[in-house]
Amino acid sequence: MLLAQLAGADPSCKTFVFEGEGHTLGNALRAIISSYPGVQFCGYTVPHPAENKMHLRIQMSHGKAVDALKRGLEDLIKVCGITLEKFDTEFTNFNQQNSQS
Amino acid sequence: MDNINEEKPRLILREHDIIENNSRISTVFDNQFDVKSFKKKFQIVIVRHDQTDMEFDLIGIHPSLVNCFRRLILSEVQTMAIDKVHVLNNTSIMQDEILAHRLGLIPLKADPRLFETKCDSKAAPDEKDTLEFELKIKCSNNKDSSKKESSRAEDMYKNSNVYSKHIKWVPIGGQKSKFKENEVGPIHSDILITKMRPGHELDLKLFAFKSNGKDHAKFSPVATVFYRLLPDIRLVKPVEGEAALRLQKCFSPGVITVKKDGDKQYAVLNENQARYDMSSRNVFRYEDLIDSVVMSKVHDHFIFTIESVGALPPEAIFREAVTILKDKCSSLLTELSSIM
């Protein structure tokens, strides 16, 4: 199990526990999710350096926290796709220009 | 200073503080993230590229994402490195564990994309996940009489220095037809492993596995990877005479050139070198120069530099890193939909 959530009745405020993740994913997700409308608070923490875990807390003013996380992950996937695409086109362009000169 | 306020968001470096050029325009930190506008704004420009080094600009992206790529490259992109050493004989003065550690740090040329990660560390070496090497070397007296007078260790003894070139590849299974020795062995042939004297002997079996920098730094594919904000330097007033030379000294070499026109000399900004300025604020030590320069940094323009160790070309390292993040997110997403 890579993903779990801490107990809590309110679906708009949730803490998700990511097993085996750290600042790498935590900060990227936090940056994207906290910019969404309806998100009141989004923060992450690595509770203990010896424990390979990352907690991501999302508090919503309206809507469900899970949806924000879902959208965050989806957007991050798209960002990766766009980055790869742009990098590849630029790389072929760069090589073409350099082989000409 | 006036037109800089109307442009892209940037940070202006002043003598004692940093201010935004225009606090009313929104930056990457204020904008709501959506994929469409990201796709429109985001730009990649390659500046420099060769076999091991690469420099490119990431424009219009949130710093957290740039840092995420950097961290992924450092600790999650996998490479091959020697991880297990069987010591059959070691009569050199270097202890087994130190020797094994030194061997582990030798970068290998093997392309990690052609190998799998070993799941069970106790399983027998397999051609898909392991590279086997051998280091068998013995030091002896040099009988060559032409070097008799010499007192240099290299002339008096044979094999007194053990280098990475002495490591021989032992193909497992079908590896022999798949790879050539120089495609899997050490990248550099002249890494000194240990020194020996006559009678000393090494007989080692080395096993290289695939892993990432989180496991051990020797698996990291890069010597270093870093990013910095693009510096933007502008000369807003002409600087002439002795002041021009002083101005030149305030910046990194090449950023300011002093041009001579008859007996007059004046400072000119070298546009394509300005990006390499280290952004020291030495200019502000001179009262008369303070008003002639505006130093700033562009908010969302990152100069990203990858220096590969050599196993993977830098562009492949970046692609790997982005793919790792993508895979990570999609596996989390499937898991999320299964538990909710």
What is the complex's ipTM, to 2 decimals? 0.94
CATH of B79-218 given 3.40.50.2300, 3.40.50.300, 1.20.1250.20, 2.170.120.12 = 2.170.120.12
The answer to whether residue A101 is domain-embedded is no
Predicted local distance difference test score (pLDDT) of residue B327: 96
What's the domain count of chain A?
1
Q: How far apart are CA B340 and CA B332, in angstroms?
A: 12
Structure tokens at A88: 């590849």
Q: How large a percentage of chain B has pLDDT more than 90?
A: 76
Residue span of the structural domain in which A35 resides: 2-95
By C-alpha distance, the chain B residue nearest A91 is B46
Question: With contacts defined as CB-CB under 8 Å, which chain A residues touch B337?
Answer: 70
Predicted local distance difference test score (pLDDT) of residue B249: 93
Each residue of B289-300: pLDDT tens digit? Answer: 999 999 999 989
- Give the one of B63, B326, B336 whose C-beta lies nearest to A81's C-beta: B326
- CATH number of the domain that residue A90 is part of: 3.30.1360.10
Across the A:B interface, residue pairs with CB atoms under 8 Å apart total 107
Does B12 or B29 have the greater pLDDT score? B12
- Give the one of B49, B322, B332 whose C-beta lies nearest to A83's C-beta: B322
Q: How far is CA B330 from CA A16, A23, A45, B333, in A?
A: 16, 18, 21, 5
Structure tokens at B208: 């290289």
Q: Are B206 and B132 in contact, with CB atoms under 8 Å apart?
A: yes
CATH of B2-76+224-233+279-285+298-305 given 3.30.1360.10, 1.10.1060.10, 3.30.70.2190, 3.40.50.460 = 3.30.1360.10
pTM to 2 decimal places: 0.92
Q: Are A94 and B46 in contact, with CB atoms under 8 Å apart?
A: yes
B1: pLDDT strictly greater than 70: no
CA-based nearest distance B221→chain A, Å: 17
Predicted local distance difference test score (pLDDT) of residue A1: 55
Q: Is B83 helix (H, G, I), strand (E, B) or coil?
A: strand
- Is B111 exposed, middle or buried, given 0-12, 13-18 or 19+ CB atoms closer than 10 A? middle
CB within 8 Å of B41: residues ≥ 6 apart: B59, B60
Q: Which residue has the tokens 């690469």?
A: B54
Q: How large a percentage of chain B has pLDDT more than 70?
A: 97
Each residue of B161-197: pLDDT tens digit? Answer: 999 999 999 999 989 999 998 899 999 999 999 999 9
